Amino acid sequence: MDTEQPEKRKRGRPRKNKLTGKATTASETVKSPHDFLNASQFEKIYLNEKNPISLYGASRSTNNFDMRSLHFHGLRDEFVETLHKIWQKDFDSGILPVNGELDHSNKIQLPSIDDIKIHPSSKEAFQKIGLKGTIKFDNTEMIVGSMKHFPITDSFRRGVVINTGGLPLVMKWCPLHIGNKKYLFVNVVPNLEGKSVVSRIAEAEFNYNRQSTLLIYECSFTGEESSCIKLKKRIILPHSIKEMHFLQQSPIEDETLMIYVDSNGSVQVWKINHELLTSKDIYTTVTPSMILKTVNPITTATFTSPSTILCGCSYGLLAHFTIPNLEADFVLPTRLSTITAIQSSYPTEPSTTLLATTDFTCYMLPTPSPSSSPLLPPTLTECGSLRDLLFHPRLLYNPQIEAFTLSEWPVILRLMTARDPVSSQRAKIPSGEVWSLGSSPSGLVTIGMTNGTLALINWWNWLASEDRKQIPGCLILYRLTKSKDQWNLDLNYKIEDSKGAANEGIRKKQKSSREVRKINLNEECVLGCGMEEGIVGCVWGNGMLVIEELIY
């Protein structure tokens, strides 16, 4: 008769259960991975186990559904607290869906994790200060809409400083020109109290669903000293804009398309033509040509062709739309967590898409299309880990060099080719922490930093250098500082050299730490920047806008 032999205890300390935190010894027996859960928690897990999407791509290394759910959605303990802070409006301005919707969707993704300690955000992204609706710049009180030209005789630079009258969330140059006139689109959230300048907005005052204004500036520089900057449009929007993109190569000569991700979780498609840009109505409202929606909130979007749009959603879903259809062609599960940024390599062929998620990782995949197999999961290539949650202000694509540029760390930029994501290059920025990136048709990259600095970098010089560990340098265009109640804009050019960080050193640090820097914006932070045929534009957190024509 066989007698059951007692199981021998293995050497070493007993392992801890990752969910309960209790040590499990050999003498303990666990009948089910759900034994420690109560009835309501078990019911939620049972219902989610019947959901094929929840089990899609689950880990084979464990039979515990809770651990598989965490692995699938990417919501690990170290950044759940950070996500909660973003939900509480300690966030990169307007980059996530409506507070309640995102909170609800992630609660569903974590049905049985009730013991994670989430502390409410104590830091406010923007705090109110008493500027009384004006910017005191260069001993000049600037009211809403006022402009001040650069001192041409002293600086030999042609540009203007503008008071936008609010907090500028997004700024983009329109590729459609009329003669020598170029158009800059700026989305501004006004202050609730009616003050013209919002240096910082308190957490209790900012609402994802509050109205915003889309400002359209007409810029033309003629002659050696004359410049003309006009405010052409004030378009009232029901919500704020999280992202804004233009179709760079339109098949129609005198019109283009603009898409923006609305803070209510939808995507609006506008047709931009000469009639809209040249009409005399300054205050107006515009009916969008299309409004794209899915069941889940849309967090980011990008053009993949002149008639197709690829959207990233919560739950790690990709939605593909074809203009003018309002319904999605297909929705793909990516086995990832919420997608925070997505960028395609269009018009480069074959098209590739780079996306970043809340698991602090960026992935590359062939751009899905209706002609491919939409029912099959996309082939994802992990191409790097991140120090910050990556949102679209810190991600762009340069078609001139066929490469993506993203802020991998606060002080490190990464250049990644669309054809070979493994052979990427890193460069260290000497002037401060990167907050926004802007591209230009010539391949130059503008870099906005949290300390008020706007820099210009030339990837061509760096790629042509023999020593890739060093970058030739970046040109500092402006530096905004504050002394008492006056703003100072430093117009002195400065070139700062920087040594590129070694790839191995960065990789080791990334594996050892995935901490996220504390989001602590101030009114000196450059929230947006970009260039269009030699004209640079940038916006700061205090509501200032600078437009300048660079003289080569």
Domain boundaries, the chain: 135-549
391: tokens are 């949102």
Residue 152 φ/ψ, nearest 5 degrees = -65, -40
**What is the rounded average pLDDT of the residues 132-146?**
67
Among 18-22, 181-185, 443-447, 471-475, whose mean pLDDT is lowest?
18-22
378: tokens are 């996309």
For the stretch 501-544, pLDDT in tens is 434 344 334 333 344 444 445 678 888 999 998 899 999 888 88
Most confident of 172-181, 198-207, 423-432, 490-499: 172-181
Report whether pLDDT(252) > 90.
Answer: no
Q: Which residues pair with 544 in a beta bridge?
A: 163
Q: 453: helix, coil or strand?
A: strand
Report whether pLDDT(128) > 50.
Answer: no
Nearest residue to 95 (alpha-carbon basis) of 227, 243, 218: 243
Number of other CB atoms surrounding residue 383 within 10 Å: 19
Residue 71 φ/ψ, nearest 5 degrees = -65, -40
**pLDDT reported for residue 134:** 55
Most confident of 92-106, 403-417, 418-432: 403-417
364: tokens are 């590359």
Among 63-72, 288-297, 348-357, 365-374, whose mean pLDDT is lowest?
63-72
CATH fold group of domain 135-549: Methylamine Dehydrogenase; Chain H (2.130.10)
* C-alpha dihedral sign at 377, 381, 387, 389: negative
**pLDDT reported for residue 539:** 92
**pLDDT reported for residue 280:** 80
Residue type, 388: D
For the stretch 285-307, pLDDT in tens is 777 888 898 888 888 999 999 99
Contact assessment for residue 407 and residue 437, using Cβ atoms and an 8 Å cutoff: yes
Of the chain, the percentage scoring pLDDT greater than 90 comes to 15
**pLDDT reported for residue 201:** 32
Nearest residue to 157 (alpha-carbon basis) of 544, 536, 539, 545: 536
379: tokens are 């082939």
* Whole-Å CA distances, 328 to 32, 226, 304, 318, 370: 40, 49, 14, 10, 10
- What value does the mean pLDDT of the chain take? 70
Query: What's the whole-model pTM score?
Result: 0.73
* 552 or 505, which is more confident: 552
Contact assessment for residue 394 and residue 446, using Cβ atoms and an 8 Å cutoff: no
For the stretch 178-192, pLDDT in tens is 988 999 999 987 754
Of the chain, the percentage scoring pLDDT greater than 70 comes to 62
**What is the rounded average pLDDT of the residues 482-492?**
81
pLDDT band at 411 (very low <50, low <70, confident <90, very high): confident
**pLDDT reported for residue 191:** 54
**pLDDT reported for residue 155:** 65
**pLDDT reported for residue 13:** 58
Q: Where are the alpha helices (DSSP H) in 195-284?
A: 274-278
Residue 186: burial class (beta carbons within 10 Å; 0-12, 13-18, 19+): buried
